[in-house]
Structure 1
Amino acid sequence: MKIDVKTTKTRVITDFKGIGVHELIVLGKYNYNRVENNLEDHVHNDMIEICYYDKGSQWFAVNHNRYLVRGGDIFIHFPGEVHGSGGFPEAKGCLYWFIIKANKSKRHQGDHENIGYLVNELVNLKRRHFRGGFVLKKMLEDVFNAIKAKGETQQIKKIRIALLTQLFLLKIMEYANKKSNDTDNERLQKVYHLIDSRLTEYITIADLAKEANLSQSRFKNWFKELSGFTPVDYVQRKRVDYAIQKLKESPSTSIKDLAYELNFSSQQYFSTVVKKFTGKSPGELRS
């Protein structure tokens, strides 16, 4: 599978050929308002692919192991690994990916060799999936903007892009080495458990905030920062997961009854939400 370099209405991809920073291959992002096709299994030999998921959630599969990546997460595909979406569609959300050479023997000399050094340090850390921060979005947008910048020489552009990439890689390493906050993780797990236990009940932001011992306004920001979702979006996704499981286990289940069981205001709204997250109507999920 060749590296995709085609820009569309929902995908922006930059091919670094001609820029002069030899380690850099591709920087891309997509912003989907609906689910798209599956990402087929493929391999990047002698390259690392650093993914930053800005919002939403996405299943990745690497060497037949599945990982659920959420907004604010960093996910790394190391050189030579078979990876794709594991049969799942590319979900509604926003994802950035940066593909960089990781072959020591072909590293170019000069200032840009720092990129190769940082990539190899990152490979040696062997951390695949960890929390990042929303500053990464700005850093990647800065690279996009540097590529498009007018009025400067090619050499200045090359230096700027190389420096911005190094800053990005240093920030990735900082997050990779960061220890998690156990207290926040424990509180988040309690909130997850409360949601799972009340999917068929009416649940409010006040209920969730109380479980985390936070004010409602603080809770919304805290939950988004840790989970990558707004509380409402997360609850909807979990209810859709519940609906999928129930329809597969009991295909004769009434869609109207299931919609009301999960506290949707109407069957039509339920169907709209299901299709937004899965690309299929509830009826198509029965088998």
Structure 2
Amino acid sequence: MSRNDIEVYHYCDAATFGVPPHRHDFYELYCLLSDSYTYHVEDNQYELHPGTLILVPPGETHWPELQGPPRDIERIVLWLNPEFISSLSIFLPKTLGAMGSNLQDEHLIVPEEKTYHVILNLLYSLLYEKNRADADSQYLCHLILSQLLIHISRVLNQRTKPQEDPGTRYGEIMKVHEYINAHYRESLSVSDLAQRFFLDKNTMTRQFKRIIGMTPGDYIRRKRLENARELIRQGYSIQHAGYSSGFSDYSAFFRAFRQYYGMSPGDLVGRSKASRRQQSEQESEE
């Protein structure tokens, strides 16, 4: 890290593959925008996918673990100088206190969907100011970062609140979870799930979010979007990908995809074609 405050980068390449265990003397916030894989921090192992973030404190060993052939991985990486972060304690004592105390054993940040998109928009704002680089950019970056840290702190504080004993609800919710995984491509609603498993809809939604980390509706949407993205990357048409993944309305699919991934399905088609063409050219040269 060369700056004494923050650095932010937007990547879309295969450089993540083969990265060995390493550590920094600064904070690293890792926001994955495409694909899903395992991420290690010290002795902890996390399943990282779009909609989740990893925050690694200074001095902790971390590395990504990816399977399969190398492919482009889109991500935003934010580096934070510890001394600069400490200087913000005057203005954000509660926020920085939460970050310090809650990162000992759990580095994965799983915000609810609306909060995730707020965080993602703030990261894009940091990238915008980095590229603009005018006289006001540094001050704006510090203001944007303060907002970002507050939202992260809220997620961390929510995570550490005492939770009621799940009791027998855990088994019931895991059955709902397994059913969604097997049937998300079909017509499926939260009301259908509650009726099928003889659960009160509100109770099921509340318990599902507490155990899985998101509501059943959000989880169904995420599964459908991830499946559609993979089909598009394999060369299927946008319409086929949307309908085959469980979306009955193309407009709703388009809006959900753009909101979740920060790009339209058409943008992904262009990137996938370029990636396959590049791979083909490399294979022909060999």
The residue type equivalent to 1:148 in the other structure is N
Question: Deviations 1:65-102 (Å, cap 9, x if unpaired)?
Answer: 32101221122112211110146478765422211122
Q: Which residue of 2 aligns with 1:175?
A: 155
The residue type equivalent to 1:233 in the other structure is E
Offset at 1:125? Answer: 2.3
Offset at 1:158? Answer: 1.8
Distance in 1 (CA, whole Å) between partners of 2:18 and 2:49 is 17
Distance in 2 (CA, whole Å) between partners of 1:56 and 1:120 is 32
Q: State whether residues 57 and 71 of structure 1, in contact with CA within 8 Å, keep that contact through their aligned partners in structure 2.
A: yes
Distance in 2 (CA, whole Å) between partners of 1:57 and 1:109 is 32
1:211 aligns with 2:204: no
Identity of aligned residues (%): 11
Q: Which runs of 5+ in 1 are unaligned?
A: 4-15, 215-220, 238-262, 264-275, 280-287
Question: Deviations 1:102-132 (Å, cap 9, x if unpaired)?
Answer: 2xxx559977975899556412222421312
Query: Which of the two has greater helix per residue?
Result: 2
The residue type equivalent to 1:161 in the other structure is C
Instruction: Name the Cα RMSD after superposition.
Output: 4.5
Q: Which residue of 1 aligns with 2:224?
A: 231
The residue type equivalent to 2:150 in the other structure is L
Q: State whether residues 76 and 128 of structure 1, in contact with CA within 8 Å, keep that contact through their aligned partners in structure 2.
A: yes
Question: Deviations 1:11-44 (Å, cap 9, x if unpaired)?
Answer: xxxxx63xxxx232x3123346x89623221101
Aligned with 1:98 (options 64, 78, 87): 78
Q: Which has the higher contact order (CA 8 A, sep 6+)?
A: 1
Distance in 2 (CA, whole Å) between partners of 1:28 and 1:187 is 42
Q: Which residue of 2 aligns with 1:28?
A: 9
The residue type equivalent to 1:145 in the other structure is Y
Q: State whether residues 55 and 109 of structure 2, in contact with CA within 8 Å, keep that contact through their aligned partners in structure 1.
A: no
Q: State whether residues 99 and 153 of structure 2, in contact with CA within 8 Å, keep that contact through their aligned partners in structure 1.
A: yes
Query: Which of the two has greater strand per residue?
Result: 1
Aligned with 1:78 (options 45, 57, 60): 57
Aligned partner of residue 222 in structure 2, secondary structure: coil
Q: How many residues align?
A: 203
Offset at 1:188? Answer: 6.9
Q: Which residue of 1 aligns with 2:128?
A: 145
* C-alpha spacing 1:36/1:74, structure 2 compared with 1 (3 Å): closer
